[in-house]
Amino acid sequence: MAPAAAEGGGRMNILGRLFPRSLTNAYQGSWAAVWLLAPVLIIKTMIGFNFSGLNPFISVSEVLQTVDGVPLDTFSPAAVASIISSAGAWGMALFALCLFTWLVVVRYRAGLPAAILLLLIEQVGRTGVDTVGLVAEVAATRAMPAAGAVINLGMTALLTIAFLLSLLRVKHLN
């Protein structure tokens, strides 16, 4: 009976770290998770800022064509406007999600596992099927994918590792 209780208690501890009763600055996970999260969060914040249209020096259509490999010049003007509008809406949502995550990193670190999970859900939800296809295509043709695809694959890997590390209970030295 004791091992089963300990096993269930372990699940409760992980759920407790994922969904803490209060959002304090008492982070219990591995600090390696924060170090893996930091570059991803910086990149995602910049991407969200740029795609949202808030950056006057970046053209969303140029980024879509050069980084993501979207052939906008082959679409009708209405389709291009729709694609740019959708990219802007996603960029604003991503920027807001990143600002929330920065708030958690700075002030409410007990919520880091949940914040990392939200970023991971956004990342995998947006790129999941494409990532599987990308890996299969690269394996079959050895062709280099678009820069955006490589960046997304790297961010997915870093966020996955950061999420798992954030759930580990680590004793921190005071």
pLDDT digits (tens, 9 = 90+) for 129-173: 777 777 777 778 877 777 777 888 889 999 999 999 999 877 755
* Sign, Cα dihedral of 32, 105, 100, 14: positive
pTM, entire model:
0.80
DSSP-assigned letter for residue 125: H
Which tokens sit at 134? 């990308």
- The answer, yes or no, to whether residue 5 has pLDDT greater than 60, is no
